[in-house]
Every structure is written in C-alpha cells, then in structure tokens.
Amino acid sequence: MLHELVITGKIVNPEGIHEAQIGIDGAFITEFKKQGLRGEREIDARGCLIFPGFIDMHVHFREDGSHQWDYKEDFTSGTAAALHGGVTTVVDMPNTPLPGITAERIREKKALARTKSKGLLGILFCGAIAESNLNTLVDMQNEVVAYKIYLARTGGLYIDEKTLPQALKAVETTSKPAVIHCEDQHIIDCKKEELGSRGDGRKKQGELHSELRPAEAELSAVRNVLSARASTARGVKISIAHVSVSDTVRMLKQHKNVYSEVTPHHLFFTRDDVLSKKAFLKTNPPLRTEANRQRLLAAFKAGEIDFLATDHAPHTKEEKAHDILDAPAGVPHLDTYGNFVSWLIARCDVPPTLIARVSSFNPARFLGLNDRGRIEVGKRANLTILELQKRVQIHSDRLYTKCGWSPFEGYEFPGTVRHTISNGVVATEYDDVF
C-alpha cells in the first residue's frame, strides 16, 4: 500500500518511546509499523522526537463578532502562531468583548474560526459562566468542550463564592468539565485597600501587582472550589487554570477528578524578572518567588500537574508598556510552545513521555477528544516533530502572533519544532508556516 505520507522516527506516547513508521492517509493515521511503509511523500525524522500533536487547553485568540480586539490577535494569526509552536488543537477562552455566554455567540466564533484557520488548526471553545446564564448552560453544551468560571473580576464574568455551588451544579448537568480561574476577589480587594492606605503608591512597580494578588488569593479560591464541589457537584470534572502556587498542587492531590494546569511563565520566570521586564511579565495570577518556581517545576516533573497550557494572552507592545497597575495582564506563548518543551526536556530532565501525557494525552481525555492525544491507528494525523539538536534564539521578527513580541525575546532554547502536521497536512517546516 502506498500511503499519502509516511513519517519515520522516534514515536513518543505516554507509555514509551520507540522507533517506528507512521502511515497517513487523509486526516488520519492508517498504519503503524516498525519498517517497510512507503509513501507518496516521506519525512525522515530520525534524530527527532515525534509527539502526538500538542493540545493547548487555554488560549485567548481575542476575536469575536465585534472585532474590537482583532488588533491583538485573530483566528488567522493565532492559527499560524499555534502551528509554529507545534500546537494542533487549542481551546479558546470566552472573555472577549462579546463574552461567550450563549450558543449563538459561540457558533458565530466557530464560523469565524473555521473560515480563518482553513481547517489547519483544531479550534475548540469554552463557554463562559455568568450569573445571567446559569439556567441556560445546557443550550451551549453541543457548542463547547468545557465551561469557564472566573472567581476574580473579568468583565462581567465574575462568579462570587456564594454563587459558585450553583454554577458548578449547572455545569454538572451538561456533562462537560469546568475550567476555573482561582483568585479570591475579596482578598484582592482587601489588599488593594490595604496598599492604598499604606501610601505605597507606585514605589515598587515590579512588586505591587504580585502584592495585590498574593498566593493566599489562589489558595483561598481553590479551597472554595473544592468545598463547593464536595457539597453540591461531586460528579463534575474540574481543572484549576494556570496554577501559580506550589501548595495548590499539594492540595489538589487529595481530590479525584480535580486537575491542574501550569503555564510556561510560571515554570520559567519569577517576580524578580518583573523588576526588569515590568508589565511585559504582568500576568494573572502573578509570578511568584524562585523557591516557589522550583517547587512547581519539581511537582511538574513528578507528574503531579496534569496539563501544560500557555494561557496565550496577546496584547500590543504599546499596551504592555504602560504602568504595571494600568497595563493589561497576559503574555503570548503559542509561537514558543515547542521551544519551551525542548527546554523542559533538555535542561530540566523532563521525560518526553511526560510531555506526551501533559501536552497531548491528558488534555484530550479531559476534553473528551477521543480522536487525538495519542499516536495510533485511527487517530487524527496530528503530530509535532521536535528537533532537540537545533538551538534557537527567540526573535520577534520570527513570530506569527499579531502582537509581535514574546516574553522569551533573546532567550536561547535547545530545540525547536521541525514540522507540525495537522489533520495529515504538513503545515510547518521550522520557522515557515505554510
């Protein structure tokens, strides 16, 4: 049999690594063999690692029917940035100018995404939960893969502690999971009042943001989630988004069907880096201490964190150049996902099999995506080929995100994405996105 595409190299699945050939026809893997496959096109990736296509569970592509934020990112530029970074599936968050609180709005975003991605990227959606739509979440269940709850103010999508049990119960009726932003708004408000009364003003720009959103704000919100789930919605699957505090991981280990994601910025940077990069490293939740970063990285290496997600949140350089208290929070990461994975493997001794789990298998299972997440016959031909012997320095002129910058500007990584293959299409070759 002559396949449309045959790839040869080291195949990485969660349970192990072995040399093999992958036969691809159309959008799917059709044969898997030690040797002997022939293809109309063949890619020799020996010396590289071939992963199931990376799945990023947390991105902000910014585009909706209003087009107010398209200048930051849209589905076209976001697709290119994702493919450049080795990502073949993303989950877009709902906190755009027209929040994703109805099925109609989600369908509108889906149509935009379909047209602009040209089928090269799997773009899935989170539905937003607000007090106004608690009784209509079921209407959205066929349009979304999960629901997002914000326990800190984000536009009109804030859910307070009293409403949280009702929100979780509403999610449980949909059979979809919940992704929760855990920062206690009451603690943030108290800190803001306290810092204002102390007259700190704007003396320590690099530290003020993290003082306003301390570790206890995350821990308190997580405790509230666990308590609400135990009392009203034990059946709902939950992921705690962008965990920034190592104690959060320890807390979650005791609970079944409660998962966690970690971002590149919380594994790489600390609050000390904010002193030099200022608002360009402003994120919610903020960066923590070096000791906390080391503990978070150790928990990741031990397999105690379930997902590696970027929280890709592009803003323009002009917006990020503002005072740290006024600038928007968030950093872009999609272009550099594969580079960061190479750092985890080569510099932090993270096993490639763990990467296959947290970047592919676990997200697919959590989201109910049975057609991806592993390299095997019958799965989608979504593959990320990583070359660990090609050092790359990050430069803004080699990025595809519309915002045009990266927090890793100038950093050298030990490897890069050689090819991203999405639905059987070879979509990239190193820095070129086709």
Catalytic residue list: 311
- In one letter, which amino acid is 164? L
Tokens encoding 59: 């991105």
Sole residue written with tokens 């995100």? 401
What gap in Å lies between CA 191 and CA 206, rounded to an integer?
Answer: 16
- Can you say whether the dihedral through the CA atoms of 371, 53, 144, 239 is positive or negative? positive
Closest Cα partner for 382 from 53, 126, 54? 53
Strands 258-262 and 238-240: parallel
- Exposure string (b/e) for 87-111, b if CB count within 10 Å is 16 or more? bbbbbbbbbbebbbbbbebbebbbe
- Please answer whether residues 15 and 52 qualify as being in contact, where contact means their C-beta atoms are separated by less than 8 angstroms: no
Strands 383-387 and 416-422: antiparallel
Closest Cα partner for 129 from 74, 166, 92, 184? 166
Q: What is the DSSP string of 349-417?
A: ---HHHHHIIIIIHHHHHHT-TTSSS-STTSB--EEEEETT--EE--GGG--STT---TTTT-EES-EE
Closest Cα partner for 341 from 331, 361, 355? 355
What gap in Å lies between CA 123 and CA 92, rounded to an integer?
Answer: 7
Q: What is the DSSP string of 344-360?
A: HHHHH---HHHHHIIII
Closest Cα partner for 93 from 131, 56, 138? 56
What gap in Å lies between CA 150 and CA 241, rounded to an integer?
Answer: 10
What gap in Å lies between CA 189 and CA 198, rounded to an integer?
Answer: 14
285: preceding bond cis by omega (within 30 degrees): yes
